[in-house]
């Protein structure tokens, strides 16, 4: 069996395949706010930078905990099958901001330690 299609039909078919390429970003557009809230909740709960080795461990743990909570919400159960893709998406979207949060917390703690050292020396 042979199919005859025009060049424009072929272009439309390829475009449709590419645009509907099961991209996780398409699914996460509407859920971005919910994921952000889960991440903010985890950031608010975890205020001790000494628990983590570095900003990468901090960001990875915060995202893991937030995604776990997020996927347990009603309507998001189907996302569990795609948890690796969603984690990659979350790292791309929120990773740098989480690094900054960690660095800010770490800097504040260093400043507090310096203040305590000054008080001790007086």
pLDDT of residue 120: 39
Q: Is residue 9 part of a domain?
A: no
Instruction: Give dist(CA 83, CA 72) in Å, integer.
Output: 12
- Which alpha helices (H) appear in the chain, and where do they start and end? 7-19, 24-28, 32-45, 55-72, 83-121
Q: Is residue 107 part of a domain?
A: yes
Q: Is residue 8 part of a domain?
A: no
Q: Is residue 7 part of a domain?
A: no
Please state at what angle helix 83-121 crosses helix 55-72, rounded to 10 degrees: 130
Instruction: Give dist(CA 35, CA 38) in Å, integer.
Output: 5
pTM of the model: 0.71
Nearest to 75 by CA among 20, 31, 38: 31
Q: Is residue 104 part of a domain?
A: yes
Q: Is residue 18 part of a domain?
A: no
pLDDT of residue 22: 59
Length of the chain: 122
pLDDT of residue 77: 83
Q: Is residue 90 part of a domain?
A: yes
Instruction: Give dist(CA 95, CA 60) in Å, integer.
Output: 8
Number of domains in the chain: 1
Domain that holds residue 60: 23-121
Q: Is residue 75 part of a domain?
A: yes
User: pLDDT tens track of the chain, all 122 residues?
Assistant: 788 889 888 888 887 766 554 578 878 888 899 999 999 999 999 888 888 999 999 999 999 999 999 999 998 888 888 889 899 999 999 999 999 999 998 888 767 665 554 543 43
Instruction: Give dist(CA 78, CA 22) in Å, integer.
Output: 14
Instruction: Give dist(CA 58, CA 52) in Å, integer.
Output: 6
């Amino acid at each position: 069996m042979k199919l005859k299609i025009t060049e424009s039909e072929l272009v439309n078919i390829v475009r449709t395949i590419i645009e509907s390429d099961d991209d996780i970003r398409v699914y996460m557009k509407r859920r971005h706010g919910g994921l952000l809230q889960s991440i903010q909740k985890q950031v608010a709960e975890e205020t001790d930078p000494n628990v983590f080795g570095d900003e990468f461990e901090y960001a990875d743990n915060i995202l893991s905990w937030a995604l776990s909570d997020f996927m347990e919400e009603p309507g998001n159960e189907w996302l569990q099958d795609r948890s690796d893709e969603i984690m990659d998406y979350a790292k791309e979207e929120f990773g740098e901001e989480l690094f900054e949060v960690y660095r800010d917390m770490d800097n504040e703690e260093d400043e507090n330690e310096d203040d305590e050292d000054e008080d001790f020396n007086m």
